């Protein structure tokens, strides 16, 4: 079901595309969040663990950019992950203002177990699209994201 807006065609078209994108995102996310939920993690927590798993230790500012969260919001996420023993924060001796976040052994084991399951679930869910369609979807999403960020 599309928009019931009776405005100009370009607005109706844009609203219909936005509604379809939002609904598809909700459906895909509800399926792919299963692994996170099983581990008792929020989307933000899983995103932080995934970034650290693939990129290694990062400062909070770089981590915030990678997981598309504000540094303020990320502070609480990191604190909760640290409380649960999944990450650790270290301060650089030469600059005590600079703190690095890294996976602990427990966090690494969790990601080694859960990320492959998550990746398979994402691939299965996104398998509704052909390879060329996936590439086109990625291209269009990046184009939209860049335009909206301006």
Go through the chain and tell me how many residues it has: 150
The answer to whether residue 54 scores a pLDDT higher than 90 is: yes
- Tokens at 81, concatenated: 């992950």
Query: Does 131 score more than 70 pLDDT?
Result: yes
Fold annotation for 40-149 = Arc Repressor Mutant, subunit A (1.10.10)
Which residues, 6 or more positions from 1, have their beta carbon under 8 angstroms from its beta carbon?
19
Across residues 31-60, what is the average pLDDT? 89
Stretch 87-104: mean pLDDT? 85
Residue 43, Cβ density class (10 Å: 0-12 exposed, 13-18 middle, ≥19 buried): middle
Q: Are 17 and 75 in contact (CB under 8 A)?
A: no
Q: Taking the mean position of all CA atoms in its chain, how far away is CA 81? A: 16
What are the strands, taking DSSP E only, across 15-139? Answer: 58-59, 87-91, 99-103
In tens, the pLDDT along 60-83 reads 888 888 887 766 778 889 999 999
pTM of the model: 0.81
């Amino acid at each position: 079901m599309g928009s019931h807006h009776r405005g100009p065609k370009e607005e109706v078209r844009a609203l219909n595309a936005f509604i379809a994108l939002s609904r598809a995102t909700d459906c895909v996310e509800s399926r792919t969040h299963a692994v996170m939920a099983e581990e008792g993690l929020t989307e933000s927590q899983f995103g932080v663990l995934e970034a650290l798993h693939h990129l290694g230790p990062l400062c909070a500012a770089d981590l915030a950019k990678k997981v598309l969260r504000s540094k303020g919001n990320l502070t609480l996420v990191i604190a909760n992950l640290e409380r649960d023993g999944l990450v650790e924060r270290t301060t650089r001796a030469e600059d005590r203002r600079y703190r690095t976040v890294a996976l602990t052994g427990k966090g690494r084991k969790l990601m080694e177990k859960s990320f492959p399951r998550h990746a398979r679930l994402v691939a299965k869910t996104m398998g509704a699209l052909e390879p060329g369609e996936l590439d086109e979807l990625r291209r269009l999403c990046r184009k939209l994201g860049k335009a909206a960020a301006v």
